[in-house]
Structure formats: structure tokens, C-alpha cells
Amino acid sequence: MDNIVPILNFCAAAFALGGILLLAVKRRIPTRLQTNFLFFGGGILFLVALLNFLEHTNLASSPDEGENFLITVFFPIFIFAIYSAVVKEEFENKKEIEDKTLRTNNLLNGMFEAIPILLILWDRQTQQLTINKEVEKRLGWEEEELKEIDLFNALLANSGDLERAREAARNFEGIWNEYPIKTKTGEIRTQRWTRLALDENISIGIGIDITEQKRINLSLQKERRRFELISKSANDVLYEWDLETDTVWWSQGWITSFGFKEEEVGDSFKWLRTIIHPEDFEDLDRHYDSIKDSNLNSWYHTYRIIGSDGDIIHVKDTGYFIRNDDGKAIELVGALENVTEEKHAKQLLQQSKERYETFFKKNPMPLIIFDEDSLSIIEANDALLQLYEYSQKELQKLTVYDLYEAEHWDKFQWLANKYRGIPSPRTEFKVRTKSNKVLNLEITTTPINYLNKEFRLAAVKDITKQREAEAKAFSSFVEGENKERSRLAREIHDGIIQYLAASKMNLTALKYKLDDFTDDEKELFENGVAYLKQAMNETRDISHNLMPPILEDYGLALAVKTLVEDFEKGSKIECNYFQNIEDISMPKENQINVYRITQECLNNILKHSEATSVSIQLIHDNSEFFLTVEDNGIGFDIDSDDYISGLGLSGIRSRVLSMGGYLDIDSKINQGSVFTIRLPLTTANKEVS
Amino acid sequence: MNPVHLLIADDHKIVRDGIRHLLKGQENLTIVGEAENGEEALRKIETEEINLTIMDINMPVMDGIEATRIIKKEFPAVKVLALTMVDENQYIRKMIEAGASGYVLKSCSKEDLIEAIEKVVSGHHYFSRDVTETILSDMVNPSLDTHTKKNEIQITNREMDVLRLIVNEYTNQEIAEELFVSIRTVDAHRRNLLQKIGAKNTAGLVKYALEKQLF
């Protein structure tokens, strides 16, 4: 027993020393080793302390034993106390480490779940499969579902990839492979996968979904190809100019559209400056600088360049500045367009405009352009404006209709329809100027293309004076004729007829001598008297036809009434006569004319119409006088030219013309006819009697 | 036969002479005087004893109608017999209105003239056959003078067509298109209607058509 104690003491001392050393270097020694060492050492020290105590209790009688006791009992207890402290610290350290590990694990788990990378964990030993959320999201499979199926078969879109994938999963650690992957819903996505072994059993599959990226790449490629295509085929020179380095990329336009040879085209704007027209530098630079140094981005300028064959080419340069964060222009992208032809066309247009100005605007013949459909007035020249007394502005508010007298509207319309798209013949119209002056115009129209639209050009000739002269001539002709007829009628009436009457009376006065005559002689006498009577009647009829005395004695209303009565008697055609003209006094000449026209109309009806009823009306209102002769006969076709000659209308027309009136004839086959004469009531013939 | 104191008024001397020759030898007939126009006839009637005037119509200065009117007013006892070349009923009517008792044409026979003188002097009327025909035909043709018969306005067929369309609110343009006539003709019809009916405007025409129940 005695020899054991020192050994134990020695051991205790050794452990104590080891414990102190351990405290100094413990971080370098595995924790488990430390813990084992400390528990083991603590046990030994406790045992030593117990044995020493028991021994000292037995040897308590010996005086030097007291010192021994201190050494053998308190020393190990002291050592143990230190041990306990060390061990306690060790335990606390260990807990801290475990917490840390837990946190790390949570972090890793969180990352595992949340990371936007597909992760599949495979434990070969436990046949355990773990997937993260990304896998569920991208592939649509739940973890539980994936466990039930064959992974490779389910996910690989091409069965041809099966072998390659299995091989890669077994052997090729860290090597990425791209597969078309089928999702649960059948959608095909592109993914890249690799495998990483964590230890002998556990391996992790890492997948990246590159479907979007692929798509973007594809569209980028298309974009690029499209741009290349455009830049090749476009007539413009597309350019991209790095302002920092003055390097420029041009498209093929210089060659295809501007006629340069490939080797002539430089790769800087310095080269461009060598071909810009010297006169255009200044403007171009100023404009360019003003945009470049502003905060504007778009820029466009037109200038001239000198082509490789020395020709002037007009260029329209449209560009866009790209600026850095400081707003400094670093790049200019844009296009140069060859606008030479456009420029030429514009110049030609300008020239033709100028020519048009002189030809159209200053033409002494009044000209007007109007829209055939809307009848709106597009433009009129100075001569026309002067004629109508309108300003261009005033005129453009009107329609063509407004320029005609209302009674010419249907004539105008008829012409417009008949000659649509082709030139119309010269036609006479009455028109009204701004100051209400009535003009006689001769108008020819022709379709023209003006400002790229179909319009109609009307050329106007003012024949007012001519017509006035003609009317004057007509009226003096008609007047002369009337006068001559009057004179003849009077001469017959006052001369021949009176002589005839007197002869007959004288002869008849001899009647008492008849008793002396033989029968033959009596017959001769009676025949002579009868012939004289007939001569009187016939001469009187001639005289009346030349100038009805009633017209001179009682005026138009009564004269026409008598005329109508005689007509009705002679023709057996039912007549209706209406007049309200007794309160106006018409010039004698006009009365004669209206009377003659009525007579002519009635003659026509008798000869041609087969009418059974005629209505004759002489009506006036505040402004005009109307003669209307309407029948219910067989009518005629107004549009055929034959009827005019057949009806002897020229006499009527010249009488109407001489009075400054209008003649309208409306008739249709089997619908009768209406003749209307319209005379303006001037102050001269509108005297209230 | 009552005694006749005759004045011959005619502007042609040869005619006056002719009448003189015709009436020469007639009993109870004295030709008191001659006149070249109405005015002269009036002067003679004033101064001479005259009970019958043979009166021409067409004469200068004053015509026979005017002279007859004055004679009948101033000297109602003096009869007037018209002897003239004109046979239009207007003249006949005017002459009768003025107060002439007879009307004979210059182409008449001697017997007719003498009969006329006798009838008129004895206070009757005389019209030669031609004249009677004219007056009669005027009387049997009452349709002519519509103006005097205000109550019965004659509307022509075309005017009726136009009026019907006006009542149906057609414009002139639309009426022209409907009836295939020119706007101006429609305008003339419309204005004729206004005048005949005495309407101020289209509304008046419509009112008239409705009142008369024309459609």
C-alpha cells in the first residue's frame, strides 16, 4: 500500500501539469481529446486525494505527519479545484460551439431552400433524396413525388441524353452538362447540371435554369442579324461614331446608295469632312455643336457632299447622341439619307409652282379650279377674282353654285354629270357678282390634276357686253319688225280696207238700178259685191294678224284673252285663262312680244300636241312676270334636237332674248308640256296704274 | 219709220260718202252732218238736232267707244249704232257697255244697215248676225274668264302636282327631281300658285290645299 501512494501522487502531479499545459494549448488539440483527457485526469486526481486522506487518517499519531497531510491531501484537492474550473470552461465552450453549428446549419438549410439554383441531395446509403424549392418551382415536382419516380427518365426531355446524364452523375464531378429538361407540365426548359460529391455517400446535383438567358440570346442574335440585314440593304448610311476615339462604323450605304467604292470609304468622321461641301461646313458645325453641347439628343441636318464622281449629293443626316452619366456626348448613332432626288423634285415643284403662278394667277383669262364632287372652290386667279369682285378668301367660302344664277343650277348640274371627267363644251351662263351685277359668261371646263387630286378647271370668257349688244340688236330687230307690222296693219286698216268698204257701199248704193239689169248682169253685180266683202274680211284678218288692234287699244291681258277665245273657238281645245297683270304697265314692245309668243305657243299646241286642254296664264309677282302655257298633249323629248326646229322656237327665243327674259320648256313624252317665259319686272314696266 | 236725223262719224271720207250713197233716197232719213272723230261728233250733237249717230270705233283724237260713253251720258236721247271693221267681242262688249244700241260690220248689206237704223231709232237693239254669234259664243264659254270668278281658282295639272309636293314638304329642288322638270319651272309654278291663291308664302299654299281638301 505504501508504494502505491507515491506513484499515485506522481500521477496526480503529472496530470495537474498536463492540465495546466492543456489550458495553454487546448485550442490546438481536438475537443474530444481534451474532454477525455480532463475527465480521465479529474478521476485520477480524485482517487489520489481519497487514498491520501484515508492513509493520513490512519497515521494521525505521527507529528511529522501533519506536514505530509497538507501535501498529500490539500495538494490534490487544490489541483482538482483547478481542474474543475478548466473543465467547466471547456463545457461552456462546447455549448457555444454547438449553438454556432446549429446556426450554421440553419443558415445552410435556408440557403439550400432559397438559393435560385436547383439542388438535389442524394444519400446513397439511406437512399434519401432531398430537393430545394427552386427544383419544385422550376420543374413543378414535389419532393415526395420525385422520390417515387425515376429521376432521369422523368426529367430528361430527350431519351438520347439518358446515358450521358447517368455517366455524368456517376463520374464527372464538377463538369457542367446542358440538357433540355421536361417539367411536370411538359414544358421544355434548358438547364445545365453538374454533380458534386460531399462524401462517399452523399452527392449533390446542382442545376442552373438558362431558359430565359437562351431566349434573350436568341432574340439578341436575331436583332443583330436584322440590323446587319438592314444596314446592308438600307439605302441610308447607318453609322455609329465613337466621339472619344473618332472611330466610326458605317453600313454599306456609301457603296450601295452613294456610289462610293469600298476602298474610298474612310473609317472616321475626319474622312467624312473631306467630302462635305466646303460651303456647308460652317452651318453643319454650328448646328452639330449646338446640339452636342445641349441636353438634346436628336439631331438632324441637311448638307451636301461631293460624290466620288464629283457630283453633288444632298444628304439628310439624322443622328442621336448617346451621353454618359455626366451628360457628355460620347457616341453618335444615326443615318445619312441620300435626298438628292427629293431635293430635285422639290426644286422642280418650286419651278412649276412659279410657272403656275405666272400662267394661272396672272392669266388674263379668268380661271377657277373647283372640286367636282363637293363643288367647293379650290383656287381662282386674279382675273376671275376681279371679274366676280371677290377676294380669294371670300371666294373659298363659297361653292361653285354660288357663282351661278339660280336658274342655271340645273343646267350646270346637267353639264357636270354629262361631261364628268372630260372637257365640257363652251356653255353660256348667267352669273352674279358680289355687287349683284349679272354677267353673261361663256364657260369651258376641263378635268385637271392639281396637287395630286382630280379637280376641274373652268376657263371663263366674259361675254356680257357682247350679249348686251346682241340683245340690243335683237330687240331693235324685233322692235323694228313690230313697228313695221304695226305700220302695215294700220295702212291696211286705214287705207285698203276703208277703200274696199267704201267701194262696196258705193256699189251697193246702185242696187236700185238692178231692176234695169238682165239676170246675168245682176249676177255679175252681186258677185262683185260678194268678192268685195270677202276682200274686206281677208284684208282685215291680215291686218289683225299683223297687229291686233285690241292689243294697242286694250293691252295685253285683254288681247291674250281674245286670242285664247278665238283659239278655243277655232280649235275646240278647252282653254283656261288666268291673268293678274292689269295693274302693271308693260312696254308696248314687250306686250307685242308676249302676245306673239303666246300666239306661237298656241299654234304649236294646235299643230303638234294633240292636247285636249290648255292653260294660259299671265301672272306677275313683286319681281317677275310669268307667261305659262301648259297643255296635256303628247309632249316631246326636250333633249332631242329635232323639236326645236319643228316647233319654230327661234322666233320665240329671239323675242324672249330681246326682252332680257328667260325661256323654259319642260316636256316629256305623253306628259304634256309647259312653256314658261319669265321677264324681270324692272321699274320701267312695273308702273302701278 | 220714225224720222231719222243722222250723224255719220268715221275718220275716212270715202266711207262717209259710201254711207251717204247707200242711204240716199230713204224716206224720213236726213243726214244732218258728218264727223271725222268722236270729238267732232260730240260738237255736232251739241249744236244740231240729231237722234242717231252711226259711229266707227277706230278714230283718231277720240275713238267711238269713248264718244258713245259721253253721248249716252250727256245726250241720252241720241242713239248710237256702231258701224265698224272690228268684230272682236271685246270691242263689241265695250261698245255695248258704252251705250251703243246696235252693232253692224262695214261689210254688211244695204238691207241690214237700213234694218239696223230702223230698229235702233224705234228704241230697239240691233246686232248683225256675225256680231250676235260672237256675243253668244262669249256667253257659252264661261270657263275662259277665270279672273272674274274669284271663288273658283283654276289650278293647272302641273301646279296641282307641285302643290301636292309642297304640302308634303318637298323643296323646289326635290320637286324638280320628282317631276323631272327644271327648278325654274317649279319656281314659276310655285309663284303662280301664290298669286292665284293669294297666299303670301308656302304656308299659305299648304293652308289653302288643306282647306279645299285638294289631297
Best B13, B16, B65, B156 member to test A by mutation, with max A CBs in 10 Å, is B156
Shortest Cα–Cα distance, B189 to chain A (Å): 9
Q: Cβ of B109 under 8 Å from any chain A Cβ? A: yes
Residue among A684, A509, A32 at smallest CA distance from B109 = A509
Q: How high is the pLDDT of residue B146?
A: 44
Cβ-based contacts of B98 with chain A (< 8 Å):
none
Q: Which residues does A299 contact at the CB level (< 8 Å), separation at least 6?
A: A287, A288, A291, A292, A317, A318, A319, A320, A321, A332, A334
Mean pLDDT of all residues in B181-187? 85
Of A537, A562, A564, nearest to B88 by CB-CB distance is: A562
Do the chains contact at A499 and B14, CB–CB below 8 Å?
A: yes
Of A498, A577, A664, nearest to B185 by CB-CB distance is: A664
A396 touches A377 (CB < 8 A)? yes
CA-based nearest residue in chain A for residue B159: A630
Best A565, A580, A626, A631 member to test B by mutation, with max B CBs in 10 Å, is A565
Do the chains contact at A576 and B144, CB–CB below 8 Å?
A: yes
CA-based nearest residue in chain A for residue B200: A621
Do the chains contact at A511 and B110, CB–CB below 8 Å?
A: yes
Do the chains contact at B158 and A672, CB–CB below 8 Å?
A: yes
Residue among B145, B214, B199 at smallest CA distance from A577 = B145
A273 touches A286 (CB < 8 A)? no
- pLDDT reading at A548 higher than 70: yes
User: Cβ atoms within 10 A of the Cβ of A535, count?
Assistant: 18
At A3, which amino acid appears? N
ipTM value for the complex: 0.76
- Which of the four pLDDT bands, split at 50, 70 and 90, describes residue A352? confident
Size of interface A-B (CB pairs under 8 A): 158
Residue with more model confidence, B54 or A129: B54
Q: How high is the pLDDT of residue B39?
A: 92
CA distance A399 to A329: 57
Do the chains contact at B18 and A509, CB–CB below 8 Å?
A: yes
Q: What is the pLDDT of residues A330-346, one digit of tens each?
A: 888 888 888 888 888 88
Q: How high is the pLDDT of residue A688?
A: 40
Mean model confidence pLDDT for chain A: 81
- pLDDT reading at B148 higher than 50: no
- pLDDT reading at A83 higher than 80: no
Residue among B63, B131, B37, B123 at smallest CA distance from B93 = B131
**The three-state (H, E, C) secondary structure of A338-406, written as one string:** ECHHHHHHHHHHHHHHHHHHHHHHCCCCCEEEECCCCCEEEEECHHHHHHHCCCHHHHHCCEHHHHECH
CA distance A411 to A310: 62
CA distance A62 to A64: 6
CA distance A649 to A476: 19
- Which of the four pLDDT bands, split at 50, 70 and 90, describes residue B163? very high
User: Cβ atoms within 10 A of the Cβ of B80, count?
Assistant: 28
Mean pLDDT of all residues in B1-5? 83
Cβ-based contacts of B194 with chain A (< 8 Å):
621
Mean pLDDT of all residues in A417-441? 84
Q: How high is the pLDDT of residue A29?
A: 61
Of B18, B63, B181, nearest to A502 by CB-CB distance is: B18
Best B23, B58, B110 member to test A by mutation, with max A CBs in 10 Å, is B110
- Cell, residue B66: 269713248
Residue with more model confidence, B40 or A549: B40
Cβ-based contacts of A538 with chain B (< 8 Å):
none
Please give the biggest Cα pair distance in chain A: 241
Q: What is the pLDDT of residues A435-464, one digit of tens each?
A: 888 888 888 888 888 767 788 888 888 888
Share of chain A above pLDDT 90, in %: 6
User: Helices then strands (H, E): number in chain A?
Assistant: 24, 20
Q: Cβ of B188 under 8 Å from any chain A Cβ? A: yes
- pLDDT reading at A508 higher than 60: yes
Share of chain A above pLDDT 70, in %: 86
Residue with more model confidence, A651 or B13: B13
- Which of the four pLDDT bands, split at 50, 70 and 90, describes residue A406? confident
CA distance B189 to B11: 47
Q: Cβ of B148 under 8 Å from any chain A Cβ? A: no
Beta bridge partners of A122: A129, A203
CB contact burial A13-30 (16+ within 10 A = b; e otherwise): eebbeebeebbeebeeee
Q: Is B50 exposed, middle or buried (0-12, 13-18, 19+ CB in 10 A)?
A: buried
Q: Quick one: angle between helices A4-25 and A75-114, nearest 10?
A: 40
Do the chains contact at B188 and A664, CB–CB below 8 Å?
A: yes
Q: Cβ of B56 under 8 Å from any chain A Cβ? A: no
Residue among A225, A281, A650, A221 at smallest CA distance from A477 = A650
Q: How high is the pLDDT of residue A617?
A: 93
Q: What is the pLDDT of residues A603-644, one digit of tens each?
A: 989 988 899 999 999 999 888 899 999 999 988 877 666 665
Residue among B152, B151, B164, B161 at smallest CA distance from B206 = B164
Q: How high is the pLDDT of residue A349?
A: 77
Do the chains contact at A506 and B182, CB–CB below 8 Å?
A: no
Instruction: Give one DSSP letter per residue of A219-233, joined into a string.
Output: HHHHHHHHHHHHHHH
CA distance B118 to B83: 14
At residue A186, φ and ψ (nearest 5 deg) are: 95, -5
Q: How high is the pLDDT of residue A612?
A: 93
Q: How high is the pLDDT of residue A260?
A: 86
Do the chains contact at A672 and B12, CB–CB below 8 Å?
A: no
In chain B, alpha helices (H): 13-23, 38-47, 64-74, 89-98, 110-121, 129-140, 157-167, 172-179, 183-197, 202-211
Do the chains contact at B22 and A409, CB–CB below 8 Å?
A: no
State the number of CA atoms in the 13 A half-sphere of A461 facing the CB.
Answer: 11
Q: How high is the pLDDT of residue B9?
A: 94
CA distance A330 to A346: 36
- Which of the four pLDDT bands, split at 50, 70 and 90, describes residue A686? very low
Instruction: Give one DSSP letter per residue of A241-288, joined into a string.
Output: EETTTTEEEE-THHHHTT---GGG--SSHHHHHHHB-GGGHHHHHHHH
- pLDDT reading at B70 higher than 90: yes
Shortest Cα–Cα distance, B107 to chain A (Å): 5
- Which of the four pLDDT bands, split at 50, 70 and 90, describes residue A66? low
Q: Cβ of B171 under 8 Å from any chain A Cβ? A: no
Cα three-residue angle A275-A278-A279, rounded to 5 degrees: 135
20-39 in chain B: CB under 8 A from chain A: 21-22, 24-25
CA-based nearest residue in chain B for residue A582: B147
Cβ-based contacts of B109 with chain A (< 8 Å):
508
Shortest Cα–Cα distance, B21 to chain A (Å): 5
Shortest Cα–Cα distance, B112 to chain A (Å): 12
Q: Cβ of B143 under 8 Å from any chain A Cβ? A: yes
Do the chains contact at B183 and A506, CB–CB below 8 Å?
A: no
- pLDDT reading at A687 higher than 50: no
CA-based nearest residue in chain B for residue A569: B137
Q: Which residues does A675 contact at the CB level (< 8 Å), separation at least 6?
A: A601, A627, A628, A629, A630, A663, A664, A665
Cell 284673252 -> residue: A561
CA-based nearest residue in chain A for residue B14: A502
CA distance A239 to A383: 54
Do the chains contact at A576 and B14, CB–CB below 8 Å?
A: no
- pLDDT reading at A570 higher than 70: yes
CA-based nearest residue in chain A for residue B146: A578
Residue among B65, B69, B43 at smallest CA distance from B55 = B65
Reported for A382-387, long-range contacts at CB under 8 A and 24+ positions apart, including other chains, are A384/A460, A387/A433, A387/A439, A387/A460, A387/A462
Q: What is this structure's pTM?
A: 0.51
Q: What is the pLDDT of residues A274-286, one digit of tens each?
A: 889 888 888 888 8
Best B183, B193, B194, B202 member to test A by mutation, with max A CBs in 10 Å, is B183
- pLDDT reading at A30 higher than 80: no
Q: How high is the pLDDT of residue A246?
A: 83
Mean pLDDT of all residues in A76-103? 75
